[in-house]
Amino acid sequence: MSRIPVSALLGLVLTGGFFLVAIFAQWIAPYKMDELVGGVWDPMSAKHLLGTDSIGRDLLTRMIYGAQVTIFIATCATILSFVTGSVLGFLAATAGGWVDLALSRFVDLVMAIPSLILALVVLTAVDVSVFTLIVVMGLLDSTRVFRLSRAVAVDITVMDYVEAARLRGEGTSWVIFHEILPNALSPLVAELGLRFIFAVLFISTLSFLGLGVQPPLADWGGLVKENSAGLVYGIPAALAPAMAIAALAISVNLVADWVLSRTSSLKGGRGA
């Protein structure tokens, strides 16, 4: 089999690390999430590896719990957007006719408004909770998954082998699961990574604006907001969660890039 390039390997290791931290946050974190353990913005020390935050909580602890919140919300939103988007996308591609038309036009409409703006409008009207955030983010982003999976499926349905299956008399479910899905999987897997990054950036941005995860819970975006006031006085506490967001996004990006290049080389691959 093929060798994994260094960049992808680095991405895989870092991504894996972030997920492990998120899953085992309760056991890894040195202090309790809400415990006041020191002064306001204490500098880094052996006791507090990253110092303390704006009201004296251990920043490393906050970061570890923040990882859990960020990754949990982003993962749930990605799963929701994928399930909704790909099911509807495949349905539109195979059903065609008015089903396709109605779904596609509606998605066009939603995508005509920037996601952040639409999310802000919706979040004005509903009560903000982890659940509503996941639903809003997942559904808004499912429009992109819908477009991709519909496009991929439409490309496949015009292939002669799908026509051959229809001529044989195969049913719709056989066509979807045996002919379309196996061929649509690799581009969708690559997209999964990109959607996850988008979800991480999205929830971080919302929380930073104060419209995402609400205190006392905090994700990385919220931590940046909590500590941003210190920056002007030269206290870099807000940069730690900011870097964490960037590091997670970059490492997933490296993996997604690799998957993407592998699937495209598969498409262009010549037979022996």
Partner 1 sequence: MHNVLDIKGLRIEATSYPPGEAPRNVVLVNNVSVAVQQGRVLGLIGESGAGKSTIGLSAMAYGRGGVRLTGGHILLNGREIREASAGDLRILRGREVTYVAQSAAAAFNPAKRLMEQVIEASLLHGVMGRAEAEARAVDLFDKLGLPDPANFGNRYPHQVSGGQLQRAMTAMALCPKPDLVIFDEPTTALDVTTQIDVLVAIKAAIRDTGVAALYITHDLAVVAQVADDILVLRGGKKVEYGPTDQIINHPQEDYTRALVSVRSIDHVEKTEAPAVLSVSGITARYRGTNFDVLKNVSVDLPAGQTLAIVGESGSGKSTLARVITGLLPAAKGDLTFAGRKLSPDLASRSKDDLREVQMIYQMADTAMNPRQTVGTIIGRPLEFYFGLKGEAKRQRIQELLDDIEMGAGFIDRFPAELSGGQKQRVCIARALAAKPKLIICDEVTSALDPLVADGILKLLLNLQARESVAYLFITHDLATVKAIADKIAVMYRGQVVRYGSKTDVLTPPFDDYTDLLLSSVPEMQIGWLEKVLAGRKMESAGN
Partner 2 sequence: MHPVVKLVTQRLALGLILLIAVSALIFFGVAALPGDAAQAMLGQSATPESLANLREKMGLNEPILWRYGHWLLGFATGDLGVSLSNGQDIAKSVGQRLGNTIFLAFWAAVIAVPLAITLGLIAARYNGRWPDKLISGVTLATISLPEFVAGYIVMYVLAVKFHLFPSMSMVFPGMGIFERLNAIILPVIVLVMVVLAHMMRMTRAAILNVMESAYIETAELKGLSPINVIWKHAFPNAIAPVVNVVMLNLAYLVVGVVVVEVVFVYPGMGQFLVDHVTKRDMPVVQACGMIFAAVYIGLNILADVVSILANPRLRHPK
Binding region for partner 1 (CB under 8 A) = 1-2, 159-161, 163-164, 166-170, 178-179, 182-183, 262, 265-266, 269-272
Per CB under 8 A, does 250 bind partner 2?
Answer: yes
**67 vs 180 by CB, closer to partner 1:** 180
Per CB under 8 A, does 127 bind partner 2?
Answer: yes
Site mask for partner 2 (CB under 8 A), range 188-227, x = bound: ---------x---x--xx--xxxx---------x--x---
User: Token pair of 141, please?
Assistant: 């982003």
**28 vs 175 by CB, closer to partner 1:** 175
The amino acid that residue 139 corresponds to is L
Q: Please identify which residue in 171, 232, 269, 271 interacts with partner 2, judged by CB under 8 A.
A: 232
* CB burial of residue 87 (10 Å; 0-12, 13-18, 19+): middle
Q: Give ∠ CA 64-83-63 in degrees, rounded to 5.
A: 5
Per CB under 8 A, does 18 bind partner 2?
Answer: no
CB of 224 closer than 8 Å to CB of 203? no
Distance CA 122, CA 69 (A): 21
Measuring CA to CA, how many Å separate 256 from each of 8, 77, 115, 141?
A: 8, 18, 22, 17
**102 vs 185 by CB, closer to partner 2:** 102
- For tokens 């802000």, the residue is 120
**117 vs 272 by CB, closer to partner 1:** 272
How large is the greatest C-alpha to C-alpha distance in the chain, in angstroms?
Answer: 75
Residue 57's DSSP bridge partners are 36
Binding site for partner 2 (CB under 8 A): 108-110, 112-118, 120-127, 197, 201, 204-205, 208-211, 221, 224, 228, 231-234, 236, 238-239, 242-243, 245-246, 249-250, 253, 257
